[in-house]
Structure 1
């Protein structure tokens, strides 16, 4: 059972890798084929070209064009209100007498 599972995993992984790499291999082999594509330099008058269907490169679309136009970002400067959290004991120093009596043993 484990051997069949390993064979199936190997087969499907080989199938996936070949499906991913076949377009790149065809594009790479296209450079070594002795045919050439004719570029049109006639831009003045309207005309039609004979299509070239025997080229394997035209069967795959290799580059995906993503037109990303970011929205215009406007920055606004926010002014935070300055709140002073006043602590009532902040202004007291160690040497000031407090408004409550100190705790300790009663004096006689």
Structure 2
């Protein structure tokens, strides 16, 4: 029989020192990325601090030309719109003041 037809004995996998360092660094980077994603998720979930959940008033569906400023002025005309807009950003965990048509936005209670 030829050498290719015979079963070759299995050789255990052996890593060099450089290979072990590469494996350990790769695992460490994956774990670090996971911890960062988890921390970011927890930070977003608890962005209100220890004050508990913000009081939610009503919700509105954003129209085609609506902005947070316009919604704030319509919903709470007696309050400075800057305060209402910031509270809406915090309450809805928005990254900016940009909203899209059809999006549900919670308005802070009075």
> Above 0.5 in TM-score?
no
CA radius of gyration, larger in: 1
Q: TM-score, normalised by structure 2?
A: 0.32
Which structure has more helix as a fraction of its residues? 2
Which structure has more strand as a fraction of its residues? 2
